[in-house]
Structure 1
Amino acid sequence: MPESIPAEVREQLASLAKESQLDVLGGRVRRSSSRFCLGVEHGDYNGTELFGVGTDRFIWLAYKPNDSGRVRLKSANFPEDGLIDFPVDQPPAPGEAPDSWARFPYGVSYILGREGHKLTGGFDAVLYGNIPGGGMSRSASLALNLIETFLECSGIEGVTGMPVVELAKAVENDYIGSPCGNLDQIMIYFAKAGMGTHYKPSDGSIDHVPLPETAEEFRLVSLDTGTVRPGLEKSTYKIRAQECAEMATLCRERFGIQTLGDVKTEEQYQAIRDAFNDAKPNLVKRLKYIYEAQQRFDTMLDAWRRGDLTTVGQVFRQDGYGLRDDYEISGPELEAMCEIARTVPGVLGERMLGGGDKGASGAIVKPGAVDALRAAVNEQYPERCPEFAGKQNVHSCSVVDGLTLCEGLD
């Protein structure tokens, strides 16, 4: 049985399709998840192992092939951008598209064509999402959803697994201009309900790690600050990626180390720190976060396998301090959420999520503490961040599949 769609989402999609004169009734609905990274945040472009889960903040895309050879789609989240309408195989060139969400369908068309996939099938589509505007990988979710839809509507089969991840990354890197790694795409594409996804860059392997039946009960909670981060190409993320690339070059030339993720021993770290701390203290701080987060990674993963969510939460919190103090990529609203969460009994750990600056923080919480956390946020956050008063949201997340076909609209 296909997954059902919440009634309010169904109504939103159906209403948008009707008012936009888009024919999606009798078609399909593809749902793509958000993600919650448990380690190593910002490790993907630094060569570390990764671990995370899919979470139930979604993008729903209702679509149906048409015979016009054109892509016609509209977003309920960005009505001001109007109807996006273009030949399926003739998107604007990179840099020519306006700065809007439309760059994603354009980018998917461009990258698929560049990689030799002949796009012939147009489609009508409407979409709606409730993923926060930063921290839980809205852009990766959208790119993956669109890639699967473009491929299906053109009858292209056999494109699965890491090639889809790389296509989604290329959309952001080569068309949008965002310097993202592949963490978000991996954690969404491979997500399975009730399991964590473990990625090893050394061999490209994906392992799904279940929680034991004896695991402590917990909730993953999104603490949406109500802020929206500009694209990664306009954020602190881009600066950090450049700094890490510079540091990796220094380490390669001096020590033969290829990526910051290759710095795994205390001896290596101390030697690099001694060599560069005087001249490049900020770069050493970036390495410090990556190195220490890697030291905690195995502890976190072993704790997950045992169902010890208290330890998982402690590592999550320590990573948050490192992201704030050493990687320096958090933001005032994100940290306000974390500071509020730390005052609530039953919160096991908290930190910023995702690219940084704006968006959402996250917390690992005992089930009985979710209501108290929500109450604390709703009371204290408007006082701490009055500019965003009333825009905050607390969402208790489940661990879900990443990409799912749902029942269509009728």
Structure 2
Amino acid sequence: MATDIPKVEDLLKKACVSYEERFGTKPEVVGCAPGRVNLIGEHTDYNEGFVFPMALPQVTLVVGRKVAGDVCRVVTLAEVNETGEVEFNVPAPETPLQPGSPKWANYVKGVVANFKGEKVAFNAVIITSVPIGGGVSSSASIEVATYTFLEGITGTFGQVDKKDKALACQKAEHEFPGMPCGIMDQFISVMGEKDNALLIDCRSIESRLVAMKDPNVVVLVTNSNVKHELTGTEYPTRRRQCELTAKMINKKSLREANEDDLKGMSSYQGHGQNCRDDYEVSCPELDQLVKAALEVDGVYGSRMTGGGFGGCTVTLVKKSEVEKVMEHVQKSYTGKATFYVCAAAEGARLISI
């Protein structure tokens, strides 16, 4: 019942064929970066708290090459409700890049504008297996894959500190799509390692790997298939509310708040009381998926993952019971869920063609 995750080599083959058809030559460089699932700690990164994500086997590839001139041409193979092609000039101090339409291209343009190396013209095709609008960081995977691609075509891969690379991609999302995201998504997409989750202190920006190697435990990601677009939801409002609350109690961030500070405010009780009732970032579909998963023996925990307002849940479950969980959840869910059995994967990298 679980959906097969497309193999990277199959994505690459499709992207290369598309590139040759569109640009009449072969690509030379492939930047690859994963989506992520957060095991715990939603909406805590911009409050300088802790998060615990892992990189997913679903990835975005940016396939292409450096070209002469001053025009960048990019094609996306993802299903979008606007044109799938865009052209823009290489940015210069007197002619900086600006956000605009199509919206998907803002994630690319923002990274180009914030790339720390030489600004060059390129042609590229983007392909992804990360569910778009699924709450598993499709946007960060595009940003980090684009940055990695730019490192590849300029011969600078690995020369920029990984933290600086992640921060540049976060800045790109702030400035161009206009999404005030925290640091988690870009960090795990850059720094993820196979068979490990990453515990990140979002104040110090320090992190440590935590092994995820128990063969008897499965990470089940369930897509509600309710699309979300965080730039158009309550996410920015929630961030402003948290910042205002911290200011009201004379704290730099809610990271510093204790029980006495928060008396009369919301308590934090997992998915149900926290994400659904107090923070109001869930939705009926996510609530159904969580409730159904928790009804099955062998489930250690289940919750929404990502920014909310749709997207996915993450469930930790005994491997022997995962089929039973998927069957029960699908029977209980009023929509059509998609299931992915995922292992912790590696982060950003260049792939040889």
Both proteins in one fold, TM over 0.5: yes
Secondary structure, aligned partner of 2:119 = coil
How do 1:107-146 residues align onto structure 2 when only pairs under 5 Å count?
107-112=110-115, 117-120=117-120, 122-132=121-131, 133-146=133-146
CA contact (8 A) 2:39 2:305 kept: no
Report the aligned-residue RMSD: 2.4
Q: Structure 1 residues 63, 320: closer, same or farther in 2, change over 3 A? A: farther
Residues in 1 aligned to 2:352 and 2:290: alpha-carbon distance in whole angstroms: 37
Number of equivalent positions:
343
Matched AA of 2:15: L
Residues in 2 aligned to 1:374 and 1:319: alpha-carbon distance in whole angstroms: 19
1:311 maps to which residue? Answer: none
Normalised to the residue count of structure 1, the TM-score between the two structures is 0.77
1:244 maps to which residue? Answer: 242
Residues 22-58 of structure 1, C-alpha deviation per residue, up to 9 Å, x if partnerless? 5344x23222111121232111111112222111121
Deviation at 1:99, TM superposition (A): 4.5
CA contact (8 A) 2:48 2:202 kept: yes
- Pairing 1:203–2:204 present: yes
Secondary structure, aligned partner of 1:240 = helix
Unaligned runs of 5+ in 1: 278-283, 293-317
2:297 maps to which residue? Answer: 345
After superposing on structure 2, the runs of 4+ consecutive aligned residues of structure 1 that deviate more than 4 Å are 4-7, 90-93
- Pairing 1:87–2:86 present: no
Secondary structure, aligned partner of 1:187 = helix
Residues in 1 aligned to 2:325 and 2:17: alpha-carbon distance in whole angstroms: 35
How do 1:228-243 residues align onto structure 2 when only pairs under 5 Å count?
228-230=227-229, 232-243=230-241
Deviation at 1:354, TM superposition (A): 0.5
Residues 137-179 of structure 1, C-alpha deviation per residue, up to 9 Å, x if partnerless? 1111111111122233234462222111111111111121101
CA contact (8 A) 1:196 1:208 kept: yes
Deviation at 1:62, TM superposition (A): 1.8
Secondary structure, aligned partner of 1:107 = helix
The structure in which a higher percent of residues are helix is 1
Aligned with 2:340 (options 395, 398, 410): 395
Q: Structure 1 residues 169, 8: closer, same or farther in 2, change over 3 A? A: same
1:310 maps to which residue? Answer: none
CA contact (8 A) 1:94 1:176 kept: no
Secondary structure, aligned partner of 1:39 = coil
Aligned with 1:376 (options 313, 328, 339): 328
Secondary structure, aligned partner of 1:81 = coil
How do 1:50-89 residues align onto structure 2 when only pairs under 5 Å count?
50-78=51-79, 80-89=82-91
Secondary structure, aligned partner of 1:178 = coil
Q: Which has the larger radius of gyration?
A: 1
Residues in 2 aligned to 1:55 and 1:66: alpha-carbon distance in whole angstroms: 32
- Pairing 1:406–2:351 present: yes
CA contact (8 A) 1:348 1:364 kept: yes
Matched AA of 1:242: R
Q: Structure 1 residues 363, 23: closer, same or farther in 2, change over 3 A? A: farther
2:105 maps to which residue? Answer: 102
Deviation at 1:325, TM superposition (A): 2.2
Deviation at 1:203, TM superposition (A): 3.3
Deviation at 1:70, TM superposition (A): 2.8
CA contact (8 A) 2:30 2:152 kept: no
Normalised to the residue count of structure 2, the TM-score between the two structures is 0.88
2:3 maps to which residue? Answer: none
Residues in 1 aligned to 2:35 and 2:24: alpha-carbon distance in whole angstroms: 26
1:280 maps to which residue? Answer: none
CA contact (8 A) 1:134 1:355 kept: no
Identity %: 22
Unaligned runs of 5+ in 2: 1-5
How do 1:321-336 residues align onto structure 2 when only pairs under 5 Å count?
321-336=273-288
Deviation at 1:396, TM superposition (A): 0.4
Q: Structure 1 residues 152, 13: closer, same or farther in 2, change over 3 A? A: closer
CA contact (8 A) 1:23 1:64 kept: no
